[in-house]
Structure 1
Amino acid sequence: MPDENRPIGEPTSLDDLAPGELDEVEARAAALLEQIAAQRTARQIHTATSPADDTTDAFEVPPPAAPVRRLAPPPWQMHSPIGSREFAERFELDEPEPQRPAAEPVPEPPTGLIPIPPLPPRPAPLPPPPPPPLPPLPFPPPGFMPPLAPPPVGMAPPPQYSAVPPSLDDAGIINRTRSAPHSGWRRAVHLASAGRLNPGESRKEREREDLLSQIRQPIAGDFRIAVLSIKGGVGKTTTTLGLGSALSMMRHDRVIAVDANPDRGTLAERVRDASSQSTVRDLLSDPDIQRYADVRAHTRMAGSRLEVLASEQEPAVSEVFGESDYRRTISILRRYYNIILTDCGTGIMHSAMAGVLDLAHAIVLVSSPAIDAARSASATLDWLMQHGHSALVREAHVVLSASRPGSAKLKLDKVYEHFEARCRSVHMIPFDPHLAEGADVDFDLLDPATLQAYLELAAAVAEKFPRLRGAPQYR
């Protein structure tokens, strides 16, 4: 029996132990070793009988090594008779633990294969891009103050201003449509389809619209045109009526033609209106000219809205009509009319011709398509240049008026080249039966070629209308 008076844990020599104590210690050690061996055997059996993971590779697992049995130390190596727990702690033995589910065995790679190196670590994700900068706030117009408080009920909200206002392009607002054709098969198709099919205007119609646009150019003040010729019977008065009618019909302002022929001019006789028998002398002697109606009482109006101021029919009185009288007449008419045409006489040395040429903005020189008439017209241009009117010669418009059938078919290439080199333009007026009657010019009765020729002449004269702006209006 152990000594009860000996303190526990104090080392004891083998000589101090009784024979019964040694047997007891040896028996306890043997029982503990058997318990440890049985525990290890149970673990090995559990590991061997556990099912392998279906997802793992079928590598051959080597059999577990045989358990190594540790022999109990001899009794003489024990210092004191301590309990089984103290003995296990002294020899670092594992105490029996409750059974736990065995971990799945990790298969080992087969021998002879090179192990795959581990993958490098993934790079860190890039930081997200910074958000786009906010657009700058639109600046309000100068003088705009935002409201300090919300508007009361019933009041319209304050206006909102944007940085770029929307465009007010005509193409996005106006529904542009083709102009309806006025003649030919295009007009027939347009009428037959009740306007659903619109082939548009033809090339000739577009060219005509261009002519009308040029004729309708605005005028600053009044524009004065002198129609002259030193040879009678070439169509000077007819050209005055035709040109004046084209301008008055295609424009919306007032156009008047003055008969300044001292040899009993026939301009007024070509107009059907007989409401007034006044002449230029009556206009000059009227002291009550204050408005347009006062002048209209002395003029006649053609069907084209062209007004005509007749010349004096008495040869003696008409001869007295000189430069000063003509200037007085123009000073009255220019206040009420935008375009003034003057039908001059054949006498270029007449006293009124000095005032006519001095006040004219453009001249129209009329001739016939014949060699002798063309030579007379060229001599007229020479005389004008010699007397200080070279500017009028450069801006002159030469008209070759055919007074009989077939005269316009002559080969006048040399005539055209001669006048085109000296003047602004050259125009051929073909023979027309309506003009040969010597009556009022009715554009509805003219041949299309004659009408086109007068429109081209009017457009050529109107080309100078915009250039007149800023120039002296009266000399």
Structure 2
Amino acid sequence: MPTSTPESVPTVDPRLAAALSRPVHGESAVRRTGRSLRKLASSASQEVFEQTQLARDVQQPVTTGRVIAVTSIRGGVGKTTISALLARTYSRYRHDPVLALEADAALGTLPVRLGAETVRWSCTDLAGILEPSMLLTDVTGYLVPVTGGGWLLPAGQGRIGPPLEVATYLSVSLALRRYFGVTVVDCESLPGEVARTAIGTAHSRVLVVPATAEGVDGTRQVLDWLAHLPAPTLAHTAVALCESSPHIRLDVKAAMGYLRETGVSVVHVPYDRHLGAGGPIVNSMLSQATSQAAVQLAAEALRFAVRTP
């Protein structure tokens, strides 16, 4: 048992939280109305069928806890946003417990994106607490409940401090995975030690790529490197090609084809005003295209994870 209990720390300074504006919808009212009219004028049966199949893939049962690691080749490209979207998607569709594990101690924002108002226990704290005899109810007492379902374990308390150690990550992630059907790990960027450890020990991985020429080119080099590793890492990797601006200069289809040459699955995550504004992610405020992309990416990542022994 812990010798002392950490104090609860707000994820956003209350003075700043009061200055935040109301969240905006992922797409404008005009575009939402136009899409509704187009639906009325055409058959949506194929779209419904595809979404139903993806939902079934996200809901597929697992015999043991599956770990999905999310990383990128540089920061600021949407890695934490994708991690939060995946965690929310699994929590929405699955009936077993889902954990969002933050493994990036460098002022990570996963708690903010998941709507946590305060954090207390961290990965380092739990490394000396977790015991095999603990029940799920014991473990969740140290975690942050996420609105809409699921649990969160932050890497720290939002302060600059020592980096997360590889041994600590391994200890905590291996101990917790048996309590949760799916664990989504928000890793530091490559080539960080914890990131390399996480992608090497996860059942599947998601590589987040910015929709820029240099981002796609750099990620292709990483994928080519993964292809030469002894373990079949590339076969269990999905790529999220993310737009961070409504004005991109990249041919998305050509970029996706270029990345798919390595054999990976690529999911396009379009620009979304709600995500671009920062702050907590609210599922109902996402554009339809973003919601569909999140379900597709969640289905792909879990499909790969289930195939892994």
TM-score category (smaller protein): 0.7 to 0.9
Query: In structure 2, what is the Cα distance between the partners aligned to 1:375 and 1:287?
Result: 41
2:19 match: none
Match of 2:136 among 275, 285, 292: 292
Checking the alignment, whether the CA contact within 8 Å between 1:323 and 1:354 is kept in structure 2 is no
Displacement of 1:264 in angstroms is: 2.2
Match of 2:201 among 359, 362, 383: 359
AA aligned opposite 2:149: R
Displacement of 1:308 in angstroms is: 1.6
Within the alignment, does 1:228 sit opposite 2:71 as a pair? yes
Within the alignment, does 1:237 sit opposite 2:80 as a pair? yes
Checking the alignment, whether the CA contact within 8 Å between 1:218 and 1:465 is kept in structure 2 is no
RMSD of Structure 2 on Structure 1 (CA): 2.6
Distance 1:446 1:314, change over 3 A: closer
Query: In structure 2, what is the Cα distance between the partners aligned to 1:269 and 1:260?
Result: 15
Displacement of 1:396 in angstroms is: 1.3
1:306 match: 150
Match of 1:268 among 100, 106, 111: 111
Identical amino acids, percent of aligned pairs: 26
Query: Which one has a bigger Cα radius of gyration?
Result: 1
**Unaligned regions of 5+ residues in structure 1, if any?**
1-182, 189-199
Aligned length: 270
Distance 1:393 1:287, change over 3 A: closer
2:31 match: none
1:337 match: 180
Query: In structure 2, what is the Cα distance between the partners aligned to 1:400 and 1:211?
Result: 19
Query: In structure 2, what is the Cα distance between the partners aligned to 1:297 and 1:249?
Result: 21
Match of 1:204 among 47, 51, 58: 47
Q: Pairwise mapping of residues 380-399 of structure 1 onto structure 2 (< 5 A)?
A: 380-389=222-231, 391-399=232-240
Query: In structure 2, what is the Cα distance between the partners aligned to 1:290 and 1:212?
Result: 32
Checking the alignment, whether the CA contact within 8 Å between 2:69 and 2:186 is kept in structure 1 is yes
Checking the alignment, whether the CA contact within 8 Å between 1:260 and 1:344 is kept in structure 2 is yes
What's the TM-score, normalizing by structure 2?
0.79
Match of 2:92 among 249, 258, 263: 249
1:405 match: 246
Displacement of 1:463 in angstroms is: 2.2
1:104 match: none
Query: In structure 2, what is the Cα distance between the partners aligned to 1:205 and 1:455?
Result: 13
- Could you say which structure has the higher strand fraction? 2
Q: Pairwise mapping of residues 59-458 of structure 1 onto structure 2 (< 5 A)?
A: 202-274=45-117, 276-286=119-129, 290-312=134-156, 313-317=158-162, 319=163, 321-348=164-191, 350-389=192-231, 391-407=232-248, 410-458=250-298
1:67 match: none
Q: Which has the higher contact order (CA 8 A, sep 6+)?
A: 2
Query: In structure 2, what is the Cα distance between the partners aligned to 1:241 and 1:281?
Result: 21
- Could you say which structure has the higher helix fraction? 2
AA aligned opposite 2:143: T
Displacement of 1:242 in angstroms is: 0.7
1:42 match: none
Displacement of 1:259 in angstroms is: 1.0
Checking the alignment, whether the CA contact within 8 Å between 2:245 and 2:271 is kept in structure 1 is yes
AA aligned opposite 2:292: Q
